[in-house]
Amino acid sequence: MEIPAGFFFLTAEAGFRGKERPDLAYIGSDRPASAAGVFTRNVFQAAPVFLARERLENRAPLRGLLVNVGQANACTGEQGIDDCRESLSYVASRLGLEPGDILPASTGVIGEPLEMERFKHGAHSLASSRPATALDAAKAITTTDTFPKLCLRDMDCESGTIRILGLAKGAGMICPDMATMLAFVCTDAAIPRDAWRDILASATEESFNRISVDGDTSTNDCLVGLANGASGIQPSEEDLELFRELILDVCQELSYRIVQDAEGGTKVLNIEVSGAENNEQAEWAVRSVAHSPLVKTAMYGLDPNWGRIVAALGRSGARFDPEDVTLSLSGVILWDKGRVLASHAESQLAEVMQQRKIHIRAELGQGEGRSRILTSDLSPEYVRINAEYRS
């Protein structure tokens, strides 16, 4: 598949991580693009999040996204905001743009001032570098990721083909409740700003808001989308519905890969709760299970310890009668309305626990409320990675 028309990529090595690898990326459009974004709900919002939100509120088109890794520029006060503005000005001047044409995004260690000399060096290299590929950009924005996350889709309309590209980074500090760690979606379709914002926000709810690795919501999480219209196609009302579905498909694919690449993770856990009094209570229940260290470590240890799952459900705050609950693990029923069945399925459970993907499903028997989430198991490697993160 081809990338969306009118987009290009640049990467450079600024040295933020002290390694010989690109850590600065620019995702550019050769023409003004309609822009929209979804951002972290963490009240400690990083300087790039503050500036990105401010610029999107101005409703002006954008020409590019500037992404650095290694330094989050979070909890850095007014100096952090000034440094972020300066970094955008520096890059814009070298690309023949205005600072307001570019949106910032950062990830890395919280609380450290942005190393401006490194940034200037990286920006100079960025502007003078040869065009990179989308895969190069996806690699440049990774941190503890073990693989780059990139997704391409296209759709045929009567007047031609629309293309969509998604890039993301993330493996730890994952519990967005808004978007994801860093994610970017580009399309050459002509989409009005308000419609674009609605499409991204809707896709977020059914993708990035449905994943968790460790229950930690970052200060820098963002999803930003650019629609530059380079295909010359504005989808009809009928085509727009398919376009929505494809954007959701891209976001769900990227969010799945984030959980698949969870720091130290060996399994993807698909947790579903149905039959709650309402969706809110189903959400409480599903997140209680997903965030339980005991559930996650049991899954890593190949131990179908379903008692940890029911304990997490029971403390979630969701209202239900234990005698109405049915619990299953990848189709093997463990608890059925007051009856323990797990002891009769040991061989089946042993086979289930060896699988890379495990489905935990709880039916509460109270109403129509339902929710789901993707999460990972928890291993000693997760502890090692995060204990040594700044080493």
pLDDT in tens, 245-287: 999 999 999 999 999 998 889 999 999 999 999 999 999 999 9
- pLDDT tens digits, 7-46: 999 999 999 877 788 999 999 999 999 999 999 888 899 9
Residue 1 pLDDT > 90, yes or no?
A: no
In three-state form (DSSP H/G/I as H, E/B as E, the rest C), the secondary structure along the chain is CCCCCCEEEEEECCCCCCCCCCCEEEEEEEEEEEEEEEECCCCCCCHHHHHHHHHHHCCCCEEEEEEEEEECCCCCHHHHHHHHHHHHHHHHHHHCCCHHHEEEEEEEECCCCCCHHHHHHHHHHHHHCCCECHHHHHHHCCCCCCCCEEEEEEEEECCEEEEEEEEEECCCCCCCCCCCCEEEEEECCCCCHHHHHHHHHHHHHCCHHHECCCCCCCCCCEEEEEECCCCCCCCCHHHHHHHHHHHHHHHHHHHHHHHHCCCCCCCEEEEEEEEECCHHHHHHHHHHHHCCHHHHHHHHCCCCCHHHHHHHHHCCCCCCCHHHCEEEECCEEEEECCEECHHHCHHHHHHHHCCCEEEEEEECCCCCEEEEEEEECCCHHHHHHHHCCCC
pLDDT band for position 352 (50/70/90)?
A: very high
How close are the terminal C-alpha atoms of the chain, in Å? Answer: 40
Q: What is the pLDDT of residues 315-346, one digit of tens each?
A: 999 999 999 999 999 999 999 998 888 776 77
In whole angstroms, give the CA distance from residue 346 to residue 338: 19
pLDDT for position 176: 61
Residue 345's pLDDT is 76
Residues 352 and 350: their CA atoms lie apart, in Å, by: 6
Q: What is the per-residue pLDDT for 215?
A: 76
Cα separation, 250 vs 248, whole angstroms: 5
Question: What's residue 47's pLDDT?
Answer: 96
pLDDT higher than threshold 90 for residue 172:
no
Nearest to 168 by CA among 200, 208, 201, 199: 208
| Calpha distance 329→217 (Å, rounded) | 27
Separation CA 339–CA 328 (nearest Å):
12
Q: Which structural domains are found in the chain, ordered by start?
A: 7-260 (3.60.70.12), 268-387 (3.10.20.340)
Distances (CA, A) of 76 to 113, 141, 221, 222: 6, 21, 16, 18
Residues in the chain: 391
Q: What is the pTM of this model?
A: 0.91
Q: Return the amino acid letter for 213.
A: V
Is 204 labeled as catalytic in the residue annotation? no
Nearest residue to 376 (alpha-carbon basis) of 362, 351, 356: 356
Contacts of 110 (CB under 8 A, 6+ apart): 44, 46, 72, 74, 75, 219
What are the tens digits of pLDDT across the range 66-111? 999 989 999 999 999 999 999 999 999 999 999 999 999 999 888 9
Q: Catalytic residue among 107, 180, 204, 219, which?
A: 180
pLDDT at 391 over 60: no
Residue whose structure tokens are 């189903």 = 282
pLDDT of 161 reads 96
- According to the model, what pLDDT value does residue 178 have? 46
Q: How far apart are CA 291 and CA 260, in angstroms?
A: 16
- Neighbour-count burial of 354, counting CB atoms closer than 10 A to its CB (0-12 exposed, 13-18 middle, 19+ buried): exposed
Q: Is 22 left (phi over 0), alpha (psi -120 to 50) or beta?
A: beta
Summary mean pLDDT of the chain: 92
pLDDT of residue 18: 72
Residue 138 has pLDDT above 80, yes or no: yes
Q: What are 200-253's pLDDT values in tens digits?
A: 999 999 999 899 887 777 788 899 999 999 999 999 988 999 999 999 999 999
**Is the pLDDT assigned to residue 174 strictly greater than 90?**
no
d(CA 388, CA 323): 45
Residue 56 has pLDDT above 70, yes or no: yes
Residue 136, pLDDT above cutoff 70: yes
Asked if pLDDT for residue 347 goes beyond 70, the answer is: yes
* pLDDT given for residue 179 in this prediction: 44
Tokens of 141: 């924005």
Q: At which residue do the structure tokens 């003004």 appear?
A: 32
Rounded Cα distance between 180 and 173, Å, is 10
Residue 191, pLDDT above cutoff 60: yes
Tokens representing 295 are 């559930």
Q: Is residue 54 scored above 90 in pLDDT?
A: yes
pLDDT score at 144:
83
Are the C-beta atoms of residues 148 and 165 closer than 8 Å to each other? Answer: no
Say how far apart CA 72 and CA 104 lie, in whole Å: 11
pLDDT at 180 > cutoff 50: no
Q: Facing residues of 365 across strands?
A: none
